Amino acid sequence: MNQVNIDLIAGARPNFMKIAPIIRALQEAEKNGSKLQYRLVHTGQHYDRNMSDQFFEQLGIPEPDVNLGSGSGTQAEQTARIMMAYEKLLMEQPADLCLVVGDVTSTLACSVAAKKLGIKVAHVEAGIRSYDLTMPEEINRMVTDSITDYFFTTSEVANAYLRRTGVEQDRIFFVGNTMIDTLLHHRKDFRKPEIWDEAGLEQGKYIVMTLHRPSNVDEESTLIDLIRTIIDHSRNLPLVFPIHPRTRKVLEHSGLDHPRLLQVDPLGYLEFNYLVERAAAVITDSGGITEETTVMGVPCMTLRANTERPETIDIGTNELLGTNPDAIPASMEKLFSGEWKKGSIPPLWDGHTAERIVEHLENIFQ
C-alpha cells in the first residue's frame, strides 16, 4: 500500500488530551519516512474557547484540517449533524482509517459514518464498560466497539471483556493510556491558575471539585444537595470548583454561594492539573480525572454509582461514593484521618502509549 490516510477525530474536551500524543507520534513517524498520513477532524461538539481552543494551544495540537462545526443540541441532533458532515467529507475526500478516541458523541457518530462507507475503524480506549446504559457514553462505547476493526486498550480488564465478546486476539492491542502520555509530557509545564494567588491557596490545603454528569447536575436540587454536603464536611478547606457549561446553566438560577466555594470558569489543561497535583483531594464525576489522580497519587472521590475504569479503584487512588450525598461524610473523615489508600500506577500507563499505537498501525498497514 502507498500512503495511508488516517482521519483523527476530536470533538469534545476529553478527546483533545487523547489525540495530542497520537499526533506527535505520527509526526515523528513521518520524519522517518512513514506511510501514515493524518487529517485532523474537529467535529465542533465543543466549541467554547475554554472547552476547545485553549486545549489545542496548550497541548500543541495543530489547527484541525477540517472543522465540521456541529455545535450543541440533543444527543440525536448532535449525532446526526456530525454523521452528515463527516459522511460528506469522506465522500469528497476518503480516508483509509478513521481513528476515534474515548466515548463521546463524536466517537460514535464518526465511527458509524466511516464504517458504513467501508472505511476501517480504530478505537483508542476500547473495551471499557460501566454497564450503565443510562450514560450516553456507555452507549457510545458499545456501538463504537461493535463496529471497530482495531481495538487499542488501556487495561487487562478491557482486553478480557473484548475477548469474552468474541473479538479475536489479533485485533486487540494493549497499549496503555494516551491521556497519561499527555499528563506525563506536560507535567513539567503545569502552571498556577489565577485563583491560586487570588484565594491564597496552599499545597495540600484545598479540594478540587468537578461535576458535569447529567445525573448529578441536570436536576437543580440534586446538584445543590451534593455541593452543600461537600461544603458541610470539608472542614475549613477551600473547594475550587471549575464549572462545566452544562453545570453552569443549572447553577445560574440557584444563587448558590459560600465563602469556601470558589466557583471559576473551566480551566486550561495546565492550570487544572497544577491544582489537582497539589490538592488534598479531588471530588469528581469525570472518568478521565480518576486516571490522572491515580497517576499523580491524589485521593479521588467519585460521585458515580459505577465506573468503566475499575483499575483506578483496584490499583489507583480512586473510590466510588455513589450519587447519594450520604456517602460523603464518611469518605471525608477517611481523608482527614490520613487513611486514604496510596495506590500505584496501572501497567503501561507510562507515557509511551501513542508510540505503541503508531507502531501497531505501521504493522497493520505495511
Cβ neighbours around 122 below 10 Å, total? 27
Which position among 212, 304, 309, 356 is part of the footprint of ligand UD1 (CB under 6 A)?
A: 212
The grid coordinates of residue 335 equal 481523608
Active-site residue flag, 123: no
Which of 260, 267, 271 lies closest to 237 in space, CA to CA?
260
d(CA 261, CA 207): 10
Question: By rule CB under 6 A, what string of x and - marks binding of each residue 133-172 to ligand UD1?
Answer: ---xx-----------------------------------
Our finding on whether 105 is near ligand UD1 (CB under 6 A) is: yes
Which one is catalytic: 46, 123, 212, 352?
212
Which position among 10, 14, 226, 269 is part of the footprint of ligand UD1 (CB under 6 A)?
A: 14
Binding span for ligand UD1 by CB under 6 A among 103-111, 118-126, 321-329, 334-342 = 103-111
Which of 98, 21, 6 lies closest to 269 in space, CA to CA?
21
Q: Total residues contacting ligand UD1 (rule CB under 6 A)?
A: 19
Our finding on whether 220 is near ligand UD1 (CB under 6 A) is: no
* Shortest Å distance, C-beta 248 to ligand UD1: 8
Residue entry with cell 458499545: 142
- Residue 26's φ and ψ, nearest 5 degrees, are -70, -40
**Dihedral-angle region of residue 298 (phi above 0 means left; psi in -120 to 50 means alpha; beta otherwise):** beta
Binding span for ligand UD1 by CB under 6 A among 9-17, 184-192, 255-263, 341-349 = 9-17
Residues 27, 21 contacting (CB under 8 angstroms): no
* Shortest Å distance, C-beta 210 to ligand UD1: 9
Our finding on whether 42 is near ligand UD1 (CB under 6 A) is: no
* Shortest Å distance, C-beta 229 to ligand UD1: 22
The angle that helices 220-233 and 328-336 make with each other, rounded to 10 degrees, is: 30
Q: Which amino acid is at 122?
A: A
Helices (H) and strands (E) in the chain, counts: 16, 13
Our finding on whether 48 is near ligand UD1 (CB under 6 A) is: yes
Residues that bind ligand UD1 (CB under 6 A): 12-14, 45-48, 51-52, 72, 103-105, 136-137, 212, 244-246
Catalytically annotated residues: 212
